[in-house]
Amino acid sequence: MQVPAPFEYARATSVADALELLERHGPEARVLAGGHSLLPMMKLRLARPDWLIDLGDLAELRHLIRDGDWLRVGALTTHADLLASAQVGRLLPIVHDAERVIADPVVRNRGTIGGSLGQADPAEDLSTVCDVLRARVVITGRAGERVIGMEEFHRGPYETACEQHELITEVRFPVRPRSGSAYEKVERRVGDWAVAAAGAALVLADDGTIADASIGLTALGLSGLATDAAAVLLGTHPSEEVFAEAGRLAAAASSPVEDQRGPVDYKRHLAEELTRRVLRSAAERAGAGALTAVQGG
């Protein structure tokens, strides 16, 4: 069995302690939460930190708090915690959609939201979810906290705005009335990374038109949101036609690469297909009436 190279280990007793340990042990120190991204990389010896700072005891980072128009999720909240929360399912159904297809139930018992965002894998589902929901990320350093939007958080594949000596401590989701959201992923098998996935959130105005829309894609070579696709929805009544147009624009915004999961044309097709599907679900969840029937496919 593959095993990690040697390293030193320290368990943090508080956020402040973790930050102090990170600073003390320098650039080759990594924080360890659930371990399900980092430890496999270490076993393959693709990652070889000198120090691991274990955050496992920081219960203060494992919380789900409704705070006015925000849902605050501690960075050490596990996938299983999110999935077990009826509140999350009610307010942010896209999170449950995504969590049901992230890895497998045993991995979800350990993997954390902070770890997922920090890993910044381009095929990571929760990053898309956070984009779509316009989440804000709390990053804590020794000088204090900063709260940033996802567009600022992303720095590219496997890179984020969270610096070596900082911690992701919380993710904040806006809770909006008359909103709906959804996520759908195509995978080769349960537990696999996405061939492609799409997420969407819609907010309806009193007259039933779309007041706000966001569309995100996973594993499709799009960084951030598909803004053109979302823009065509604004001010329209939810309909198959407009969703189809958004799907086309989302596909146009994608730039997938061929890999073992599929060729470019298939993935671009999925961008369109899945965008349409999640828009339908999101609209329905936002309380839109029946859409004009157009044959899917």
Partner 1 sequence: MTAVEHRPANPAATSADRPIGFGRIQRKEDPRFVRGKGRYVDDIVLPGMLHGAILRSPVAHARLVSVDTTEALAHPKVHAVITGRDLEGLNLAWAPTLSADVQAVLATDKVRFQGQEVAFVVAEDRYAARDALELIDVEYEELPPVIDARRALDPGAPVIRDDLAGRTDNHVFDWEAGDAAETDAVFAAAEVVVAQEVVYPRVHPAPMETCGALADYDPVDGTLTLYETTQAPHAHRTLFAMVAGIPEHKIRVISPDIGGGFGNKVGIYPGYILAVVGSIVTGRPVKWMEDRSENLMSTSFARDYIMRGEIAATREGRILAVRTHVLADHGAFNATAQPTKYPAGFFSIFTGSYDLQAAHCAVTGVYTNKAPGGVAYACSFRVTEAVYLVERMVDVLAAELGMDPAELRLRNFIRPEQFPYRNKTGWEYDSGDYEPAMRKALEMAGYDELRREQAEKRARGELMGIGVSFFTETVGAGPRKHMDILGLGMNDGAEVRVHPTGKAVVRLSVQTQGQGHETTFAQILAEELGIPPEDIDVVHGDTDRTPFGLGTYGSRSTPVSGGAVALAARKVRDKARAIAAAMLETRPEDLEWEKGRWYVQGDPSAGRTIAEIALGAHGTVALPEGVDGNLDAEVTYDPPNLTFPFGAYVCVVDVDRGTGKVRVRRFVAVDDCGTRINPMIIEGQVHGGLADGVGMALMEFIGFDEQGNCLGGSFMDYLIPTAMEVPDWETGHTVTPSPHHPIGAKGIGESATVGSPPAVVNAVVDALAPLGVRHMDMPCTPARVWAAMQGRATPPI
Partner 2 sequence: MQVTMTVNGAEVTRDVEPRLLLVHFLRDTLGLTGTHWGCDTSNCGTCVVLVDGVPVKSCTALAAMTSGHEVRTVEGLADGAALDPVQQGFMEEHGLQCGFCTPGMMLTARALLDRNPDPDEAEIREAISGQICRCTGYATIVRAVRWAAAHPATEEVRA
Residues interacting with partner 2, by CB under 8 A? Answer: 1-9, 11, 32, 35-36, 39-40, 42-44, 52, 54, 56-57, 80, 103-107, 109-110, 190-191
Please report whether residue 106 would count as binding partner 1 according to CB under 8 A: no
Q: CB–CB of 288/238 below 8 Å?
A: yes
**With CB under 8 A as the contact rule, which of the stretches 20-28, 137-145, 216-224, 272-280 interacts with partner 1?**
272-280
Cα gap 266→256, rounded to integer Å: 9
Identity of the amino acid at 202: L
**Contacts by 259-266, CB closer than 8 A, 24 or more apart:** 261/188, 261/192, 261/193, 261/194, 261/195, 261/196, 261/219, 262/195, 262/196, 266/195
Site string for partner 1, 4-43 (x = CB under 8 A): -xx-------------------------------------
Q: Which of 13, 23, 45, 294 binds partner 1 (CB under 8 A)?
A: 45
Q: How far is the CB of 193 from partner 1 (least distance, A)?
A: 8
Enumerate the β-bridge partners of residue 199: 183, 216
Residues numbered 189-208 forming contacts with partner 1, rule: CB under 8 A: 189-193, 195
**Number of residues in contact with partner 1, rule: CB under 8 A?**
28
Site mask for partner 1 (CB under 8 A), range 227-266, x = bound: ---------------------------------xxxx--x
Q: Which of 144, 156, 177, 297 binds partner 1 (CB under 8 A)?
A: 297
Residues ≥6 apart with Cβ < 8 Å to 17: none
**By the rule CB under 8 A, 293 interacts with partner 1:** no
The least distance separating partner 1 from the CB of residue 88, rounded to whole angstroms, comes to 23
Distance CA 274, CA 297 (A): 10
Q: Supply φ then ψ for residue 219, to 5 degrees.
A: 60, 25
In angstroms, give the least distance from the CB of 98 to partner 2: 16
Give the list of residues 6+ apart from residue 2 with CB closer than 8 angstroms, or none: 43, 44, 45
Q: Are 184 and 277 in contact (CB under 8 A)?
A: yes
Binding site for partner 1 (CB under 8 A): 1-3, 5-6, 45, 104, 186, 188-193, 195, 260-263, 266, 269-270, 273-274, 277, 295-297
